[in-house]
Structure 1
Amino acid sequence: MGIGVKSRKTLLRELVKYMVTLCVSLVVLALLYIFVNTIAMNTGFSHPANYNEREAEKLAPKLETIDEVTADMIPDTMSYAILNKETKQKTAGTIQEKDLQLVKKKIEKKPYVNYKQKGYMVIDRGNEYCVLQYSLRADFGSPLLRKYLPNYELTSICILIILLIIVISIITTYFANRLRKHFETLNVITRYIKEQNLQFTPEFTHIKEFDDVIDSLIEMRDALQSSLEAQWRLEKNKKEQIGALAHDIKIPITIIKGNAELLSLSKQNEEQADYTKYILGAGNQIEQYIYQLIHLSKTEDSLTVHFEKASVEKLTETLQKDISAYKGNKKINIVFKKEHLLKEAQIDRQLLHRALLNILTNAVDYTPEGGTVSVYAKCDSESFYFFVRDTGSGFSEIALKKATELFYMDDKSRHAKGHYGMGLTFAKNAVNLHNGELALGNTKAGGGEVRVKIPLNKE
């Protein structure tokens, strides 16, 4: 499965290619190192390890016959010492006494002595010995380089190690970046799927293992797309049915209300008048639910918001009056606390009024007799805050996640109080249209809490 033509590359093949490239590069570097060393020695830039020994052999005949050996006769790459032939004590020279101990022991047996990469040549001058000390290591031809750099061997090895590290780093980084690019391709695809942006054309990596994963992600994308389309169709169908049902219910409710109003005009005793009043009140309440249900049956995009200059202060005062009238004779306290409410801001006053009133009525309905509903309204330089707390039983763990879903009821035994799971859903949609936030929670005392934050444009 997949899109496009894919090669048969594998991760093993890429690994082998990396190892071969690395080995070839190291071999080339080693050959280059040998070649440069050869050129350096042929041009005199550096001297081989036996160079000083050969120079000492050339100098020996002259030192053997000359009347007196002085320091200016000795090259700067060597040191010398004059030893008394009988006492073997140094009478002149620049060689350290500690370096002469081994030479003194072997002076009569060996004209050449090597120790710790230093060579010693003993020249018999009749009544004294002349000892030349020289290095048995390769070294620079330039006195300046010999002075400021370590010996040539150590310097060249350090340079070789640095070049090896650089070559290994470059090759490893190159192959790592190639693999990182392939992983980034996977990350892009998974990010698209996470964001439900499913209309994308994947780019294959031409490596079998990566392309197999991409194929699996494509299958996941196609399955998710089919699932989302089915869910969308089901949701659309459900909303259409809800809207149609709500419109159908309006007809019998209108008939019931019309007949109840006719009955109210006829002569009735007190008990009959009360029943008629109950019928009209329930009919009005059902009619409000139907209008609300028709709004909720629409998609959120079709529920439009119309911003205009309005007073947040007056909006809050209206809410206070409306909720006081709503609670009627129910014995609960409604406490409003207002701070710094703006007299002018860009909001949809009607939409926001309906949303916040739904939250308030929800709190009143779930607050038992003798309880309290506390409302805190405040504006700062950027937002309008509206907090509602009650002393009811609070939201359950499931309700904290689902209370804003259509038709969800935390406690279905209380549906007689008028809760059909629509109020918080509408409030959530209205707050979203204001680019705001609605959050549910519980107070420390156990009651429910709804927190609303609305961004304000004061201009």
Structure 2
Amino acid sequence: MGKKYSMRRRIWQAVIEIIIGTCLLILLLLGLTFFLRQIGQISGSETIRLSLDSDNLTISDIERDMKHYPYDYIIFDNDTSKILGGHYVKSDVPSFVASKQSSHNITEGEITYTYSSNKHFSVVLRQNSMPEFTNHTLRSISYNQFTYLFFFLGEIILIIFSVYHLIREFSKNFQAVQKIALKMGEITTFPEQEESKIIEFDQVLNNLYSKSKELAFLIEAERHEKHDLSFQVAALSHDVKTPLTVLKGNIELLEMTEVNEQQADFIESMKNSLTVFDKYFNTMISYTKLLNDENDYKARISLEDFLIDLSVELEELSTTYQVDYQLVKKTDLTTFYGNTLALSRALINIFVNACQYAKEGEKIVSLSIYDDEKYLYFEIWNNGHPFSEQAKKNAGKLFFTEDTGRSGKHYGIGLSFAQGVALKHQGNLILSNPQKGGAEVILKIKK
């Protein structure tokens, strides 16, 4: 690529192009005027006086001499005042006649009618102090106006041409920036790393290419880490579930034997512990699957159908936890985009959490759905203890649990899973304490 230059220099180059073009345009106008003058298409501004000193001049002699001048004229007979010849337009005849009758030059504005005569003829010349077209059809257009219009149009074309090339060059550079920005972080090989003649754009492009490669490397490394985590969790779950399955079988064998009341309590406690372990590992597997989920998160979903299916599960959970459950729909939205399975699991996790920490004795949990121009909101509220500041900051983190006001019934995975789902939907998880009391969790997703 050739020599590079700054953006300021490129703009000044465009300005200089316009200035040089303007000078050339002025020279072109002067040259055009000189050329038209030479071929007799426009009259000059100087005043001439035709000499008719000889009485032997004929009309042909006068007409032959007048061909050398770009002026209108009329030849009058001195005896009869009739027009014997000339080159003129009818609208100017009264002025020619007035000059003939007065035998003097007369001036009308910028036009002078010059009178000359001998014994037989009188000649009146029409001369304009301003250049004008000698062609009677074109004379309706002032030559000065013609030059102004020519200059104005030429200047506009010149500016448009120069600015167009400037904008085109800038646009090409912006398109190069857009091209790499849209593929930022993608593992792709660009056939040719685009360069720019403008230093500022070239620096931006080089930086974007470098950052894109770094980001692509980090994303790929994170993807491998997630796959490794998923594999490790799956392997760990398998390794742990195997002895748990054996233990579960042994407990079932013990139940078949005669045991006393205390032993029966021990067996029941072990069964509950096994259930907790099983639920814990299933939750961990679900979370790691979400990390590696490559499914489509832009499927078109019917909001009504989604809420009908979701409500079936939420009503069952509300019965299990003995909760007064309410569904409030505050939107006219019919469809949105997302992943049905992931959203359902996330909302169920939040709902279970809300049920567990609702106010004992009169548990109330509500699910409200509303939207704005960009996002769809699922708000789950309970009438339990409000969130602490620590919980609002860290509840979305894996394995975070809060001791104050919480019974330790969960493992710190549910809200972390919901946060992951929200991020996959280009949204967020929001924890807040409304003025009406209680606590609420809002799952915000892009529509």
**TM-score past 0.5 threshold:** yes
Q: CA deviation at 1:136?
A: 0.8
Contact 2:385 2:405 in 1 (8 A): no
Matched residues in 1 for 2:340 and 2:171: separation? 53
Indicate how the Cα distance of structure 1 residues 82 and 261 shifts in structure 2: closer, same or farther if over 3 A, else same: closer
Q: What is the TM-score when the length of structure 2 is the normalising length?
A: 0.66
Matched residues in 1 for 2:159 and 2:445: separation? 57
Matched residues in 2 for 1:191 and 1:334: separation? 45
Contact 1:295 1:303 in 2 (8 A): no
**Alignment match, 1:108:** none
SS at 1:168's partner residue?
A: helix
Instruction: Output aligned runs, 1:353-432, within 5 Å.
Output: 356-369=347-360, 370-375=362-367, 388-393=380-385, 403=395, 406-409=398-401, 411-413=402-404, 416-426=407-417
Instruction: Output aligned runs, 1:299-314, within 5 Å.
Output: 300-301=291-292
Matched residues in 2 for 1:353 and 1:316: separation? 10
**Alignment match, 1:292:** 283
Indicate how the Cα distance of structure 1 residues 41 and 399 shifts in structure 2: closer, same or farther if over 3 A, else same: farther
Q: CA deviation at 1:313?
A: 5.3
**Alignment match, 1:29:** 25
Indicate how the Cα distance of structure 1 residues 20 and 439 shifts in structure 2: closer, same or farther if over 3 A, else same: closer
**Alignment match, 2:2:** 7
Contact 2:426 2:446 in 1 (8 A): yes
- With 197-206 and 284-293 compared, the bigger mean Cα shift is at 197-206
Instruction: Output aligned runs, 1:51-200, within 5 Å.
Output: 53-54=47-48, 56-58=49-51, 66=78, 79=95, 117=110, 119=112, 134-146=127-139, 148-149=140-141, 151-193=142-184, 196-200=185-189
Indicate how the Cα distance of structure 1 residues 200 and 397 shifts in structure 2: closer, same or farther if over 3 A, else same: farther
Matched residues in 1 for 2:27 and 2:324: separation? 94
| One-letter code aligned to 2:259 | K
Q: Deviations over 1:309-356 (max 9, x none)?
A: x9975763454234322x26xxx53446799xxxxxxx9999887555
Q: What is the TM-score when the length of structure 1 is the normalising length?
A: 0.65
Q: CA deviation at 1:17?
A: 5.5
Structure 1 vs Structure 2 CA RMSD = 5.2
Q: CA deviation at 1:214?
A: 2.1
Q: Deviations over 1:42-72 (max 9, x none)?
A: 333221212xx32x53579999994686899
Indicate how the Cα distance of structure 1 residues 60 and 416 shifts in structure 2: closer, same or farther if over 3 A, else same: farther
Matched residues in 1 for 2:340 and 2:20: separation? 76
Q: CA deviation at 1:388?
A: 3.6
Contact 2:50 2:116 in 1 (8 A): no
SS at 1:392's partner residue?
A: coil
Matched residues in 2 for 1:281 and 1:38: separation? 109
Q: Deviations over 1:412-433 (max 9, x none)?
A: 5566432223224555777999
Q: CA deviation at 1:257?
A: 5.0
Matched residues in 2 for 1:13 and 1:452: separation? 48
Q: CA deviation at 1:398?
A: 8.0
Q: Deviations over 1:104-140 (max 9, x none)?
A: xxxxxxxxxxxx7555758799xxxx99884211111
- With 173-182 and 400-409 compared, the bigger mean Cα shift is at 400-409
| One-letter code aligned to 2:316 | K
**Alignment match, 1:103:** none
**Alignment match, 1:213:** 204
Matched residues in 2 for 1:60 and 1:117: separation? 28
SS at 1:47's partner residue?
A: coil
SS at 1:46's partner residue?
A: coil
**Alignment match, 1:282:** 273
